[in-house]
Structure 1
Amino acid sequence: MEKQKIYREVKSYLMLTLSLCIASIGWSAFIIPAGIVGGGITGLASTFHFLWGWDVGLVSISINAILIILAIKMLGFSFGIKSIYCIILFGILLSVLTRYFKTPLTEDTFMSTLIGSSLAGTGGGLIFINGGSTGGTDIIAMIINKYKNISLGRLLLLCDVFIIFTGYFVFQNIEIVMYGFITMAIFGYAVDLVITGNKQTVQLFIISEKYKRIADSIIAKTEKGCTILDGIGAYTGDEKKVLMVISKKRTSTILFRIIKDIDPDAFVTMGTVSGVYGRGFDQLKV
């Protein structure tokens, strides 16, 4: 059991190292040498680099160190070893690679934006999957949220928007700002794509008089389980049976075909589920 735990941890750190390499190449070989100010602490460090030639990696580590100390003091925040490892290694990689890549690997600015943010987002998503974090503006957002009643999502967006707009004061060019927003959008999409990927799960609620036939058919044809819930119509007061089914999104069309064949008038809702843990799905991770 102890060997399995050690093996799992070693594998996790190897994946984190690979993920950090991918993310740092995206920033150092494409985004930063193209003169683009992205979001997050790396984007802010890039601004200082463009203004005064400061080392991106060292500035990134320094800012994150200050934020972590503030978070511990003001929020009682606890950072795991993996997060500390990611922050330090990411800063070192940025410091080394930005000195090596003086010009972007592609001459077209838009391609640098596209490739760089895709790599950075892919690396970021892999870091999250393996339990790591590169710190950043989420710490700032949490500190502000403690004293101001503003949602974390809005605060993160405001922080990134502010950082990206600093690019205008550096280059006096609105195109750079737009490239920064494109970088932020692609980065976010790539992170979500990596985290969800083909594992994206949906939850179906099915209301039908023929619920038993539908449930039996789903179990027989898809080998998926169903949960039968008791429901009462708020307007009519009638008692209804509600089927709840969890499925991978790519196989949901089979479920719809089954439902349509048995009861075309069934009432069905489908929603995306951010995480499903248990037998047949992902393992519960803490």
Structure 2
Amino acid sequence: MLYRSPVQWLMILAGSLIYSIGLNGFLITNHLAEGGFVGISVLLLYLFHLPVGATFFILNIPLLFIAWRMFGRQFVLNTGVGVIGVSVFSELTKFIHIPTEDRLLAALYAGVVTGIGLGLIFRTGGTTGGADIIARILRHYRGVGMGRTLFSIDLIVILMVIVVIGKQVAMYSLVALFVSSRVIDFVIEGAQSGKALTIISENHSAIVAAIHEQLERGTTLLQAMGGYTGQSRQVVYCVVAREEVVRVQRIVHEVDPKAFVTVSNVHEVLGEGFTYDVTVNSPLKRRFLKNKN
């Protein structure tokens, strides 16, 4: 387990603070629920008025002890910062109340804010304990996938919400969980995402030339063989920004309407044309300098 810098610890704490604001400001204020161990703590708050932070911390103590024995001190330290951060900040932000007349809007707001907080924690490599520790233990002993365990725990909590609070609240809480998961993905993967196109065409040379000239995007030619015909052919692979996908599709259609094209998501694209400072000799840099002058 990697040791973390002070900046990373601060990122985990900042994520815990943002998550707690979303928890108290939108979820609890509007009487919505959450998944995982925080969700259990929120249910105990609604039923017995137990403080969320203290309940969440107590629920994590036996799991942190087990994790110490199984995964070592550094894992518990990394996880403990997130657990303590959420426990403390969820109590310090109890005064934040943002009531919303429309519960659907409350769920959307809650999903965005809690997603940003959890995304910062996960992007730094931290966790908030609870279900994550259980998922790691089951993967270690039983080989069960972490995603399956986390989904199962969230499902159990939502079923408890249906019994304790009602189906309507459970549905809005599911909306918040879904939005939160999408925001978490966005924060972890970064804004530099794109689309990858795989193009199979007899006129691949013309397609490559058009992409280079009109979009100034790079391409890669992959040597492939047709499974049915047994003939060798070149496959064009190209990564572009999301807004450029339609332009590439139009180029391919104009050159070869019969071309076979697939489009897939690419997360956090790094390199020239996306995050790398291109060289003076590149077409992009030359065009920038020309326009500037």
> Which TM class, normalised by the smaller chain length?
0.7 to 0.9
The answer as to whether partners of 1:167 and 1:177 remain within 8 angstroms in 2 is yes
Local SS of the residue matching 1:231: strand
- Are the counterparts in 1 of residues 12 and 126 from structure 2 also a CA contact under 8 Å? yes
- State the Cα distance separating 1:280 from its structure 2 match: 4.4
1:49 paired residue number: 45
> Which residue number in structure 2 is paired with residue 218 of structure 1?
211
**Equivalent residue number for residue 63 of structure 1:** 59
| C-alpha distance in 1 between matches for 2:28 and 2:50 | 13
Residue 111 (str. 1) matches residue 90 (str. 2): no
- Per the alignment, in what secondary structure is the counterpart of residue 199 of structure 1? coil
CA contact (8 A) 2:191 2:268 kept: no
Cα 1:217/1:108, change in 2 over 3 Å: closer
For residue 18 of structure 2, what is the amino acid of its counterpart? Answer: I
**Paired residues of 2:192 and 2:269 also in contact (CA < 8 A):** no
Q: Cα gap change, 1:200/1:59 in structure 2, threshold over 3 Å: closer, same or farther?
A: same
The alpha carbon displacement at 1:47 in A equals 1.8
Partners of 1:210 and 1:46 lie apart in 2 by: 60
- Spell out, residue by residue over 1:125-167, the C-alpha distance to the aligned partner (whole angstroms, 9 max, x if none): 2333344432331221222233445433222111001112222
* Maintained 8 Å contact 2:115/2:179: yes
Which of 232, 235, 256 lines up with 2:228 in the alignment?
A: 235
Indicate the residue corresponding to 1:4 in structure 2.
none
User: 1:51 and 1:75, CA in 2 relative to 1: closer, same or farther beyond 3 A?
Assistant: same
What is the RMSD computed on CA atoms of the aligned residues?
A: 2.9
CA deviation map 1:148-195 (0-9, x unaligned): 454332221110011122224434x33232233222222223323444
Please point out which of 202, 206, 218 is paired with 1:209: 202
Provide closer, same or farther for how the CA distance between residues 209 and 250 of structure 1 changes in structure 2, counting only shifts above 3 A: same
User: Structure 1: 5+ residue runs without aligned partners?
Assistant: 1-7
Inter-partner Cα distance in structure 2 for 1:69 and 1:178: 34
Aligned AA (1:222):
L
Whichever residue aligns with residue 227 of structure 2, its letter is A
The one of 120, 124, 133 aligned to 2:114: 120
1:155/1:82 CA distance change after superposition, 3 Å: closer
In the comparison of the two structures, how many residue pairs are matched? Answer: 273
3-state SS of the aligned residue for 2:236?
strand
Residue 178 (structure 2) pairs with residue 185 (structure 1): yes
The residue aligned with 1:174 is 167
Amino acid at match of 2:148: R
Gaps of 5+ in 2: 277-293
Cα distance in structure 1, aligned partners of 2:42 and 2:212:
54
Contact 2:19-2:115 within 8 A present in 1 as well: yes
Which residue of structure 2 aligns with residue 5 of structure 1? none
Is the 1:27–1:117 Cα contact (8 Å) retained in structure 2? Answer: no
Deviation of the 1:30 alpha carbon: 1.8
- Equivalent pair of 1:57/1:95 in contact (CA under 8 Å): yes
Q: TM-score, normalised by structure 2?
A: 0.80
Shift, 1:241, TM fit: 0.6
Q: Is the 8 A contact 1:198 1:250 kept in 2?
A: no
* Equivalent of 1:33 in 29, 32, 37: 29
Q: Which deviates further from its counterpart, 158-167 or 232-241?
A: 158-167
Match for 1:151 among 130, 136, 145? 145
Amino acid at match of 1:91: S
The aligned residue for residue 20 of structure 1 is 16
Q: Kindly indicate whether residue 82 of structure 2 is the aligned counterpart of residue 89 of structure 1.
A: no
